[in-house]
Structure 1
Amino acid sequence: MAVIVKYVVERNGEEKMTFASKSEADAYDKMLDVADELEVMLKGSGLLENDDNREAVAMFLAENKDDLLQALKGKKKAPVVKPAPKAAAKKSVKAA
């Protein structure tokens, strides 16, 4: 029988994510803290009245913190090439 250590990140009594290492759990917990602070800031702006949208934007910004910080510093970043959607990636092949 194996013993497995799991680190659970919990917010308001709800399990958010489980990790195998403490450092990963701490990083995720910190990201959630950032998202919470961003959500408060966005709520104060009055720009996003819908709670779900405000939470989604705050989480997106927290997940992309490094890119956000570069943008706020005015530094240009190499463009990100996103993969094409699966439907568009399919090519029809004609028999010759």
Structure 2
Amino acid sequence: MTVEIKYVVVREGEEKMSFANKKDADAYDKMLDLAEVLGDWLQESPLKLEDEQNDALAMWLAEQRDALSTIIKTGKLPESAPAEKAPAARKKAAADEETAEVKPIKAA
């Protein structure tokens, strides 16, 4: 028998995701906090979006937090990695993604 430790992110009584380590769980929880604030803020905009669109946009903006911060601070799109480093960075990201132990939790 094996023992596994899982960190589960729960929102409004619903399990959202489980993680193998606390750092990733905390980061995801923080991203959900940001998405919630962004969703509330987007509802105040003059654009009237469907609730699903508003939630999806808020989540995407929260996921793109670093790029959004760079755009707001500099007024420019973030620079991508130099051409010779870009393939290596993509390979590393793909490898990290494959080895990540992030498992979505299905709502009961």
Normalized against structure 2, the TM-score is what? 0.69
> Who is 1:89 aligned against?
none
Q: Could you report, residue by residue, the CA deviation over 1:58-86 in whole angstroms, capped at 9, with x for unpaired residues?
A: 000000000000011114422589xxxxx
Offset, 1:13: 1.3
Secondary structure in 2 matching 1:9: strand
Moved more, 22-31 or 67-76: 67-76
Structure 1 unaligned regions, length at least 5: 82-96
Q: Aligned partners of 1:76 and 1:39: how far apart in 2?
A: 22
Letter in 1 for 2:71: A
Query: Max radius of gyration: which structure?
Result: 1
User: CA 1:47/1:77 → structure 2, altered by over 3 Å: closer, same or farther?
Assistant: same
Moved more, 30-39 or 2-11: 2-11
Q: Could you report, residue by residue, the CA deviation over 1:32-74 in whole angstroms, capped at 9, with x for unpaired residues?
A: 0000000000001141331000000000000000000001111
Give the 4+ runs in structure 1 shifted more than 4 A.
none
The 5 A counterparts of 1:1-96 are 1-73=1-73, 74-78=75-79
Q: Could you report, residue by residue, the CA deviation over 1:7-31 in whole angstroms, capped at 9, with x for unpaired residues?
A: 0001111111000001100000000
**Aligned-residue RMSD, C-alpha:** 1.8
Structure 2 unaligned regions, length at least 5: 87-108
Secondary structure in 1 matching 2:44: helix
Normalized against structure 1, the TM-score is what? 0.77
Amino-acid identity (%): 51
Secondary structure in 2 matching 1:4: coil
Secondary structure in 1 matching 2:10: strand
Q: Aligned partners of 1:58 and 1:2: how far apart in 2?
A: 39
User: CA 1:48/1:79 → structure 2, altered by over 3 Å: closer, same or farther?
Assistant: farther
Whether the 8 Å contact between 2:31 and 2:62 is mirrored in structure 1 is yes
